[in-house]
Structure 1
Amino acid sequence: MINVTKTFLPPQSEYQAILKRAWDTGWMTNRGVLVKELETKISAYLDTPHIIAMTNGTLPLQIAIKALMLHGEIITTPFSYVATTSSIVWEGCTPVFVDIDPEYLTIDETKIEAAITPNTTAILATHVFGNPCNVEAIAKIAKRYNLKVIYDAAHCFGVTYKGESIFNYGDVSTCSFHATKLFHTGEGGAIFCKEKLLLEKLFYHHNFGHQGKEEFQGIGLNAKMSELQAAMGLSVLPYMDQIIKARQEIVNTYNQWFEPVVAIKPLLIRPETQWNYCYYPVVFELESQLLKVTAELNKKSIYSRRYFYPSLETLPYVKTVTLPHSSSISKRVLCLPLFHDLEKDSIQNIVNTIKKNI
């Protein structure tokens, strides 16, 4: 069986050796030494100024909205995982969808200004499959209209744009460390922020609002990462360069074997991006081709994923709007298997199956 993703697991002995440090102290949560060490090492690896590790990748989005005191309307993308939209609604704001660029699959920055109203307070955009949004254009729009910018960068661990970590753009960036992601802590996530005062707000929001042991400076919830999660992250992090290199070779193999196929289109990466090879999405000409290919792959116990599907403007708790590109592409996009030790024979089997059925 070949799944669309496969969790990278370091040698169990390495994980246990790191975990033993927490075991010896009996300190399993509440920001133990492993969580703090993981934050320091991730910040150094990515060259980012501030990071707060959290227990999953959705709470950082909710906390960012809360800390920035957003209300009213937030302009966002319909082509993302459901957490992007549900976090906006959960925090009592209204998502306003803008269609996507059909090439890069990120929010179409040329359509943002037309969606701004007096009730707009922010832009929440997704770097889709680790592919950066047009961050310069979005920054100019945000400055012109005094809007905050949050980036859902769930897929972006290790991505740089113009030589700088993608997490350094916007007011806040968030990331997922779920087991299916490039870098993982089993379950987990993080929030990145350049501004120190905002970081302090984000911090107390993620820890019940605590200011010391007995005082509270504001509302909060429990988004803290545990030492068990941090131990996994500390044991995975040293392998990141190796993982990315292996995935790059797999992506290059896919690209080479798909090059003459006109019925599908691989992801176009924005120029000046150092990508992390986190997913391998292809867009078919027709949804019927996707459905046929999926069925044939499944017969061989090869499992791809319709990601992202459906387009988020179709969710039952949002206002339905017409977004031609996102609606069409979400029906025709398929993520193919991609993980660090996917073998060439398996790739060829996948490619041949697709070629025969389109």
Structure 2
Amino acid sequence: MNNTPIQVSKTYLPTRQDYYELLESVWDNHWVTNNGPLIRQLEATLTERFSAPLKVVSNGTVAIQLAIRALDLTGSVITTPYSYVATTNTLLWADLTPIFVDIEPEWFCLNPDLIEEAIRPDTTAILATHVYGYPCNHEALADIAERHNLKLIYDAAHAFDVAVDGQSILTWGDISTLSFHATKVFHTIEGGAVLSTDPDIIERLQLMRSFGHAGRDFLSLGINGKNSEFHCGIGLLNLARLEENRAARKRISDLYRELLSEMPLNCLDPANYPGLDYNYAYFPVFCWDNAMREEFIAKLNAEEIYPRRYFEPSLNQLDFLAPELRRSCPVSERAASTVVCLPLYPDLPLDDVRRICKIIRKNILQWW
């Protein structure tokens, strides 16, 4: 049995030797940033993987910020209350007004049935999140966006390599944004990307991530959104082990689902999503109520096991929001008060999974 603390995630790293060998070229040519050969190799590899061009940037938040600028958004944006805080912060940072629309109760993504009544005359876009990597209802969202002349952005931070009916969901919408943070299925330690099938958008993103200039020509407004050769080297090596790591994540997820199957818990199952090729990024569990969740988290913490309340809070309830932005979103609010993501990473021992489930089952049976 592993007696060390078990965190909700553990960053996969390549071997030191593989990383040192990859970086020999960086020392040889002293090209450490500013669109070096490793970032170009990573972009080319991912472009081929997803059948759409992308630009690697410094992190997932900057990716959304660049998407907002590339699409010239103004006014208000329809968005989800059930996501990481960065999704909302990027809108507020750009002086856009987030209009929170509640989520659907099956996959916890933005509910298309509630969007049209929330659209204002100044609404210019929809910003939706593929929650835990489970895809939004793209057909419905795309239809609404087209009929109301809205841009459609997907926060796909959790959706690396997720596909439906054999097609990457990253090609949906006007822009998809990715996070390559160290906690993600694929990472560059810190990083992200912006993907679009529109070549004009990609050209704008290329300029905007590098101060808006190409060579000696200053062509547009821009920021420093670049990533380094050191980060992209980690990404290239992690890609080589991605399938192996995803298979390990699947084994762990399947065991969690088996051992918790008879409990009064909602464990999302990718097998129930038609045509889904999932990445096993997270294992979220939704409890009967908040008291149940807090009880078994406390029991796990006592055994030095640290799951995460992810996402919490529901973003429409953020303390720093103006009162008029705090629209009621009861499905999201309930999800945020009952969800817990259990530990999930490729080398998590299956015996530890069994121990985690034993603690949960014992506590729930006592509670029930």
Please say if residues 104 and 268 of structure 1, whose CA atoms lie closer than 8 Å, have aligned partners that are also in contact.
Answer: no
Aligned to 1:199: 202
Is 1:251 matched with 2:253?
yes
Is 1:320 matched with 2:326?
yes
Aligned to 1:353: 359
Aligned to 1:166: 169
Alignment of 1:1-358 (within 5 A): 1-44=5-48, 46-210=49-213, 212-261=214-263, 263-269=264-270, 270-315=273-318, 316-318=320-322, 319-358=325-364
SS in 1 for 2:223: coil
TM-score normalised according to structure 1 size: 0.98
Structure 1 residue runs without a partner (length 5+): none
In 1, the alpha carbon distance for the partners of 2:14 and 2:269 equals 31
| Matched residue type, 2:258 | Q
Mean Cα deviation higher: 182-191 or 263-272: 263-272
Structure 2 residue runs without a partner (length 5+): none
Question: Deviation at 1:257?
Answer: 0.7
SS in 2 for 1:334: strand
Question: Deviation at 1:215?
Answer: 1.4
| Matched residue type, 1:326 | S
| Matched residue type, 2:39 | V
| Matched residue type, 2:91 | I
Please say if residues 48 and 192 of structure 1, whose CA atoms lie closer than 8 Å, have aligned partners that are also in contact.
Answer: no
In 2, the alpha carbon distance for the partners of 1:120 and 1:216 equals 31
Please say if residues 312 and 336 of structure 2, whose CA atoms lie closer than 8 Å, have aligned partners that are also in contact.
Answer: yes
Question: Deviation at 1:47?
Answer: 2.6
Question: Deviation at 1:292?
Answer: 0.7
SS in 2 for 1:170: coil
Cα distance per residue 1:315-334 (max 9 Å; x no partner): 11241111110011100000
Question: Deviation at 1:298?
Answer: 0.6
What is the aligned-residue RMSD (CA, Å)?
A: 0.9
Cα distance per residue 1:153-192 (max 9 Å; x no partner): 0011110012111110000000000001000101111110
In 2, the alpha carbon distance for the partners of 1:287 and 1:143 equals 39
In 2, the alpha carbon distance for the partners of 1:326 and 1:32 equals 42
Question: Deviation at 1:268?
Answer: 4.4
In 2, the alpha carbon distance for the partners of 1:331 and 1:154 equals 22
SS in 1 for 2:83: coil
SS in 1 for 2:305: coil
Mean Cα deviation higher: 212-221 or 65-74: 212-221
In 2, the alpha carbon distance for the partners of 1:41 and 1:101 equals 35
In 2, the alpha carbon distance for the partners of 1:2 and 1:125 equals 31
TM-score normalised according to structure 2 size: 0.95
Cα distance per residue 1:6-45 (max 9 Å; x no partner): 111111111111111111100110010000001111222x
**Count of aligned pairs:** 355
| Matched residue type, 1:240 | L
